[in-house]
Chains A and B, each alone.
Chain A
Amino acid sequence: MAPPRALSEFVAEANEVLETLAHDVAVLDAQRGREPEPDLLNAIFRAAHSLKGLSAMFGQERISALAHHLEDVLDALRLGKVLASDALLDAILEGVDVLTLMLREAAGAAPSDDTARRVVALTESFVRLASGGQQTAVDVLDEVGLDPAIRSVFTEYEEHRLRENVKKGVALWKVRAVFSLEDFDQRLAGLNATLKPLGEVISTLPSSQPGDETSIAFDLIFGSSRPQHEIETAVQTMATVQPLTQKPVRPRLVVEPEPEAPRTRPAPRPPVFASDVSSPELTPLGSSSPSGVMQGAEPSLRSLAQTVRVDIARLDGLMNVIGELLTVRANIHRLAEVARQAGATPLPKLWGQELQKEARALERKLDELQAGVLDVRMVPLGQVFDKLARLMRRLVRQSGKDVHFEVSGGDVELDKLIVEELSDPLMHLLRNALDHGVEPPDKRIAQGKDARGLIRLKAQQLGNQVQIEVGDDGAGMDEGRIKQVAIERGLVTRELTDELERRDLLNLVFLPGFSTRKDVSELSGRGVGLDVVKTNLARLSGLIDIDSRRGEGTTFMLTLPLTLAIIRALIVGVADRTFAVPLNSVTEIVAVKPAELRTIERREVIEVRGQTLPFLRLSRIFGLQELPVERHFVVVIGLAQERLGLAVDALLGQEDIVTKPLGGRLKGVPGIAGATELGDRRAVLVLDVAALVEELKRPPAAVG
């Protein structure tokens, strides 16, 4: 049963907060060993805080309580009371996972004892960690002689930042600015932006020496190691600069290992989807101490919410199009009225022209509207890649292997539906790469490879399709073993395997019931094989292929359509039936005379521009009547690197279609993706091109 709406709204909202939190924690984790960025810590603190408030508001006491403890730890961390130790970071990471599990349970998943145990253990470690620190023995702020009057107005956090700056030998300045009341907010923001590259704006205080009636003065407390004249040059006439402390701040000899003294702080991360982890840089993984926090089984990475965050500008765009459509409607009404009043008298020629003009405008606007709505459905793959990066970081740590996880192409956009459905297959492939692909360090060194393995996750858009690669530089697949296992399990016959090409052999791993690893590991396995990955992808009209070289690694290539929502389709006739073929997989259409057909091993082939393609008669595949024809229309299908020619009797045109699934009981008819309605409201079947290509590729023994 679906959760009631209030609950589902909560889940959607909490999920969003949790995703932001998880993303930031992942960045924090990647910076392990360095002093955490204050901006980042603040963002994480705020997310934990909102989660606490949100869950309390909806009576989710468990989540609220844990978020509260997490908030305490983060607060202590941000105030410098505790250090960002490995234990602390591990606890925060665990916290994100446990909160996700709890949210899943709140959304209707069965509560598990494991989660309850983890919550208890985590609450204890949060409490311990939050109280673990002690105050600095000597207050450095006293040493530099800060005016107590100024000091009293600072918050605990600001004081902590002052202290941190002094400890690092960064001088403190008071930057005084007077702005007109009319535009002070903009000018203050401008001043902040100017100062930021030079140091840290610790606090903005209304000035103790107020300006006149039409202006307002501010004191910006600013920490910077640049000399006074440099700051003065930067702010020019905007403000005056004075030292804040009576005694100069001297660089101390014993400070934290912090190489860059003037720290330039990056602007805060834009809240939506911008992702550090999905940038093409390498994200270092592993080599940190093994985590002491216990881990349970991996939950699905699918997000809990069925919502899409939309940039308001996109919606405004849609609204504009609708506004224009309303004008078209008004014009059509007017023309209709003219026609009505004309009665039996013939309408002027101009009337017809105008109607045609409006019809064209309507068509154009509808196209825009459609494109706009599709656009709204598109989300960056980075959403899933972020989660995967987080998961991989942890899995790598658990596995004891040393692995680089390289992510790129997170900005490629795909339909929300596809992105969601992708997370589980990708997780599976990545775990496979870590578990079966990359060898342990000693083995790698023995083979003359770099001890540190590499796992790649890469996405790129190719026309109407998106290609995602999951690759490793590990041991590669052993065809010999694949062959042996496939025969042992009775999936293929020995004679057949002798005929199969290397690539077809590799593709045997996608057959149900195939798994080469004898010991089922903690990380992957569990009886779920690559066949599930393949089925999941097929549901998205996607294809998967393998490239693997012994000793060099394995790459899985996933090819997916950009969207499943509205697609352009070629309408074809076969016997007396009509079918729709998604155009994104059609590369060209050719006409072939029956005499031009050849056979190879009794399978029909055609030649298109020097390339020999399998020739499939749709009528034969679907058991329909085969009409005698003078020439076949051949729709050439191209999906990933697979190509085949599909013979049809007639080409009936192109349409934009929305594919709807066949009602429950007819789900999964091989070769049929669903149905759509054309102008006459009759249902027209939409071909599942990927499935047809698959059928052709499948080793004959596995059929049926």
Chain B
Amino acid sequence: MPSNRFEAQLTRFFYRPDEDVGAWLELAPEIAEAGESIEELPEEFLAFELGAEVYAVPIGAVREILKVPAITGVPRVAEHVLGVMNVRGEMLPVYDLKQRLRLVEVPQRVTGPTDVPRESRVVLLKDPEGDAGILVDRVQGVVRLPLSKLEPAPNLGGDRRAVAGLGRAGGNLYILLDVEAALA
């Protein structure tokens, strides 16, 4: 140890910031890489259940899937905001999509895992306006929906702006969610 400490002192003494280019060289590749982020083709979707319907979001929009954490209600916000959850120190909102999409009449109050069935999950979505979680009844898994076979959302009246389109695979119908509209 003592020799080490001595070395550190010497280095400090002889250190010339002007000569030290090591740090810059290390940074150089970072600059080159910045431009080439590869856009993922949105053909894999995460499918989940809301009531009797099955919804899907592009897998690239999903940050992670969480067991339902403790959720703290926030006053003075829209009814479909369940509250905030603590994701490893980050405070993120949780939305009640069933309420938002008018799938249920009465808003449910969820403050933690004991208020929901065991299969419920919070799907944490990435969003430029700030990541947010949505409470879902069950996560089915990843489905591949061929992009060419996606249908536009049929006009059934009502406020269904959050539906981006429909997808079919293996005889099942998936409602594609427009994440931004759903969280608005």
Residues of A near any B CB (own CB < 8 A): 1, 4-6, 9, 577-578, 621-624, 660-667, 669-672, 674-675, 677, 680-685
Tell me the bound Cα distance from A591 to B169 in angstroms.
64
Residues B76 and A674 in contact, CB atoms below 8 Å apart: no
Q: Which of A621, A622, A624, A666 has the most CB of B within 10 A?
A: A666
CA distance A622 to B132 in the complex (A): 23
With A662-B91, A663-B84, A665-B93 in contact, is A682–B76 under 8 Å at CB? no
Cβ–Cβ contact B24 & A6, under 8 A: yes
Are B91 and A670 within 8 A (Cβ)? Answer: no
- Which residues of B lie under 8 Å from residue A578 when comparing CB positions? 72
Verify B28–A683 contact, CB threshold 8 A.
no
Q: Which of A624, A664, A677, A681 contacts B75 (CB 8 A)?
A: A624
Q: Say yes or no: A675 contacts B130, CB within 8 Å.
A: no
Q: Chain B interface residue count: which class?
A: 20 to 34
The answer to whether A669 touches B76 (Cβ under 8 A) is yes
Which residues of B (117-135) have their CB < 8 Å from a CB of A? 127, 129-132
Question: Considering only CB atoms, which chain A residue lies closest to B130 in the complex?
Answer: A664
B132 and A663: CB pair below 8 A? yes
B74 at the interface (CB under 8 A from A): yes
Report if A663-B90 is in contact (Cβ < 8 Å); known contacts: A4-B30, A6-B31. Answer: yes
List B contacts of A577 (CB < 8 A).
Answer: 72-73
Report which of B70, B129, B132 forms a contact with A682, defined as CB distance below 8 A: B70
Residues of B within 8 A of A674 (CB): 91
Instruction: Jot down 8 A-B pairs with beta carbons below 8 A, ordered by A.
Output: A1-B34, A4-B30, A6-B27, A6-B30, A577-B72, A662-B93, A663-B92, A683-B86
Q: A663-B132, A664-B131, A665-B129 are in contact. Are A5 and B30 (CB under 8 A)?
A: yes
Inter-subunit contact A623/B75 (CB<8 Å): yes
B89 contacts chain A at the CB level, 8 A cutoff? yes
* Distance between A107 CB and nearest chain B CB, rounded to angstroms: 15
B85 within 8 A of partner (CB) = yes
How many A-B contacts at CB < 8 Å in the complex? 92
Q: Which of B23, B71, B76, B131 is in CB contact (< 8 Å) with A663?
A: B131
**B-chain residues with CB within 8 Å of residue A664 when the two chains form the complex:** 127, 129-132
| CB contact list, B91-132 vs A, under 8 A | 91-93, 127, 129-132
In the bound assembly, the distance between CA atoms of A667 and B74 in angstroms comes to: 11
B81 beta carbon closer than 8 Å to chain A: yes
Q: Given the complex, which residues of B lie within 8 Å of A622, measured CB to CB?
A: 75-76
The interface residues of chain A lying within 8 Å CB-to-CB of B131 are 663-664
The 9 closest A-B pairs by CB, nearest first: A664-B130, A622-B75, A663-B92, A675-B91, A682-B70, A683-B72, A6-B27, A683-B86, A4-B31
Interchain CB contact under 8 A, B130 and A665:
yes
B57 on the interface (CB 8 Å rule)? no
B74's partner among A6, A666, A677 (CB-CB below 8 A) is: A666
Chain B facing A: main interface SS: mixed
Give chain B residues whose Cβ lies under 8 Å from the Cβ of A662.
74, 84, 91, 93
B90 to chain A, nearest CB (A): 7
CB-contact partner of A677 in B27, B83, B89, under 8 A:
B89
Q: Which of B34, B71, B77, B92 contacts A4 (CB under 8 A)? A: B34
- A677 with B86: in contact, given A662-B91, A663-B91, A683-B91 (CB under 8 Å)? yes
Q: A9 to B27, alpha carbons, bound, how many Å?
A: 11
Provide the residues of chain B in CB contact with A624, threshold 8 Å.
Answer: 75
Write out the residue numbers on chain A whose beta carbons fall within 8 Å of the beta carbon of B129: 664-665
In the complex the two chains form, is B77's CB within 8 Å of A675's CB?
no
Task: Kindly identify which residue among A4, A9, A685 contacts B72, using a CB–CB cutoff of 8 Å.
Answer: A685
Q: How far is the CA of A682 from the CA of B112 in the complex (A)?
A: 10
A675 to B73 Cα, complex, angstroms:
11
| Residue B164, interface by CB 8 Å | no
**B183 close to A (CB within 8 Å):** yes
Q: How far is the CA of A665 from the CA of B133 in the complex (A)?
A: 11
Interface residues of B (CB under 8 A from A): 23-24, 27-28, 30-31, 34, 70-77, 81, 83-86, 89-93, 127, 129-132, 183
Contacts of B30 on A, CB cut-off 8 Å? 4-6
Nearest B residue to A10 via CB reads: B24
Looking at B28, B70, B83, B91, the one whose CB has the most chain A CB atoms below 10 A away is B91
Residue in A4, A670, A675 whose CB lies within 8 Å of B84: A675
Known A665-B93, A666-B84, A675-B91: A680·B70 in contact at CB below 8 Å: yes
For residue A580, give the distance in angstroms from its CB to the closest CB of chain B.
Answer: 11
B80 to nearest A CB, angstroms?
11
A660 pairs with B89, CB closer than 8 A: yes
Name the CB-closest residue of A to B71: A683
Provide the residues of chain B in CB contact with A660, threshold 8 Å: 89-91
Question: In whole angstroms, how far apart are the Cα atoms of A671 and B86 in the complex?
Answer: 20
What's the Cα separation between A683 and B23 when bound, in Å? Answer: 39
B31 cross-chain contacts in A, Cβ below 8 A: 4, 6
Known A663-B91, A666-B81; 16 more pairs at CB < 8 Å: A4-B31, A578-B72, A623-B76, A660-B89, A663-B93, A663-B130, A664-B130, A665-B132, A666-B84, A667-B130, A671-B75, A671-B76, A677-B86, A680-B70, A682-B70, A683-B91
Complex: A5 Cα to B183 Cα, angstroms: 33
Residues from chain B with Cβ under 8 Å of A684 in the complex: 72
Q: How far is the CB of A686 from chain B (nearest CB, A)?
A: 10
**How far does the alpha carbon of A666 sit from the alpha carbon of B95 in the complex, in Å?**
11
> How far apart sit A261 and B58, CA to CA, in the bound complex (Å)?
80
- Inside 8 A of A663's CB, which chain B residues have their CB? 84, 90-93, 130-132
Q: How far is the CB of B161 from chain A (nearest CB, A)?
A: 17
Docked CA distance A561–B92 (Å):
26
Inter-chain CA distance A681–B70, complex, in Å, is 8
Which A residues are CB-close (under 8 A) to B93?
662-663, 665-666
A678: shortest Cβ distance to chain B, in Å? 10
Assembled-state Cα–Cα distance A663/B132 (Å): 7
Which residues on the A side are within 8 Å of B85 (C-beta)? 683
A663 vs B77: C-alpha distance in the bound complex, in angstroms? 13
- CB-CB under 8 A from B86, the residues of chain A are 675, 677, 681-683
Bound CA–CA A664/B70 (angstroms) = 19
Task: Please judge, given known A-B contacts A663-B84, A663-B91, A677-B89, whether A685 and B74 are in contact too, CB under 8 Å.
Answer: yes
Q: Which residue of B lies closest to A54 (CB)?
A: B18
Chain A's nearest CB lies how many Å from the CB of B35? 10
A60 to chain B, nearest CB (A): 14
CA distance A6 to B34 in the complex (A): 13
The one of A665, A671, A677 in contact with B183, judged by C-beta atoms closer than 8 angstroms, is: A665
List chain A residues, Cβ under 8 A from B132: 663-665
Which single residue of chain A is at the shortest CB-CB distance from B86?
A: A683
Q: How far is the CB of A646 from chain B (nearest CB, A)?
A: 14
